[in-house]
Amino acid sequence: MQAPQPAMLLRIYTEEGRQHAGRPLYEAIVLKAREMGLAGATVLRGPMGFGHSHAIHTARILDLSAKLPLVIEIVDAEDKVRAFIKALNGMHDIGLVTTEKVEVVHYGSAPGG
């Protein structure tokens, strides 16, 4: 069993219709995280939400649009997460970005498993 390790959780709150350099913003963020060697990234799609505009975005059939909320989560060492945040400065209209200190208690599977 691995001992718990300190780490940082980065959350980026955005919406699926946002673009960067001709591709979906969430895709550009995940590809940048991979390019910079971060441990991993997960994009979560929300069925409902609102942001600073207070406009409600939902996944109802009659209201399907490219404005559904997305959350991108990345966990890695604090120095790597902070360097990644600096690399995001060229991406505009991202949304809310938060960090919090976390403890990684298990990462990946055993070799060969």
pLDDT in tens, the chain (113 residues): 577 899 999 999 998 889 999 999 999 999 999 999 999 999 999 877 777 777 776 666 555 566 789 999 999 999 999 999 999 998 988 999 999 999 999 877 756 55
Rounded CA separation 98/110 (Å)? 31
Tokens of 44: 């979560």
Measured CA distances, 72 to 15, 43, 83, 102 (Å): 10, 4, 16, 16
Rounded CA separation 101/54 (Å)? 28
Tokens of 92: 């505009």
The model's pTM is 0.84
Domains contained in the chain, CATH given: 18-104 (3.30.70.120)
pLDDT at 64: 56
